């Protein structure tokens, strides 16, 4: 029997969000919104010279699922290499949260999109074409498919 619409993990991350806040000297900032329900997620990353996410923080306007997804996403990408960060899918976020109600899956999609947006910003800042993020994502997808 379900105890409520959200798993204990979701409730835990909602109550005690990890990495909430802003990073003053972030070098990767992404903001995405969901026009349908109005969620907005802003993600800040500090990526070092080795291409490793040293620090990450978020701010989210949204429901319990949106806040928990943001929090979980930051946990999952902290300390990772940029290439590996891009491997994080919304499904993995949902799994790490022990599931989300079907109507709330889009809140995890938003977290994945926020990461992409932040990395695009990062590449732009270091003088590369942000499209590289899309290409990398494509590559990962075909890799997984094969």
Distance CA 4, CA 90 (A): 22
Nearest to 29 by CA among 114, 87, 101, 112: 114
Query: Which CB atom, from 37 or from 132, has the smaller least distance to ligand FES?
Result: 37
The partner in contact with residue 15, picked from other proteins, ligand FES, none with C-beta cut-offs of 5 to 8 angstroms by kind, is other proteins
SS3 91: helix
Query: Which CB atom, from 19 or from 76, has the smaller least distance to other proteins?
Result: 19
SS3 90: helix
Phi/psi region, residue 98 (left: phi>0; alpha: psi -120 to 50; beta: rest), is: left
Whole-number minimum distance, CB 66 to ligand FES, in Å? 4
Q: Binding to ligand FES (CB under 6 A): which residues in 32-71?
A: 37, 39, 62-63, 65-66
Distance CA 134, CA 92 (A): 19
The partner in contact with residue 79, picked from ligand FES, other proteins, none with C-beta cut-offs of 5 to 8 angstroms by kind, is none
63 flagged as catalytic: no
17 binds ligand FES (CB under 6 A): no
Sorted by sequence, the CB contacts under 8 Å of residue 133 that are 6+ apart come out as 86, 116, 119, 120, 123
Interaction site with other proteins (CB under 8 A): 5, 11, 14-15, 17, 20-21, 31, 36-42, 59-67, 101-106
105 binds ligand FES (CB under 6 A): no
Residues within the interface to ligand FES (CB under 6 A): 37, 39, 62-63, 65-66, 107
């Amino acid at each position: 029997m379900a105890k409520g619409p959200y798993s204990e993990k979701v409730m835990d991350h909602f109550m005690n969000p990890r990495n909430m806040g802003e990073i003053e000297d972030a070098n990767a900032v992404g903001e995405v919104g969901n026009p349908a329900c109005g969620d907005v997620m802003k993600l800040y990353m500090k990526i070092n010279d080795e291409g490793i996410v040293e620090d990450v923080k978020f701010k989210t306007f949204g429901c319990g699922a949106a806040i928990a997804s943001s929090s979980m996403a930051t946990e999952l990408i902290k300390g990772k290499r940029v290439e590996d960060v891009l491997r994080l899918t919304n499904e993995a976020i949902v799994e790490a949260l022990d599931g989300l109600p079907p109507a709330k899956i889009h809140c995890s999609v938003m977290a994945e999109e926020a990461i992409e947006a932040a990395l695009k910003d990062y590449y732009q800042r270091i003088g590369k074409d942000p499209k590289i993020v899309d290409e990398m994502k494509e590559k990962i997808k075909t890799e997984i498919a094969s």
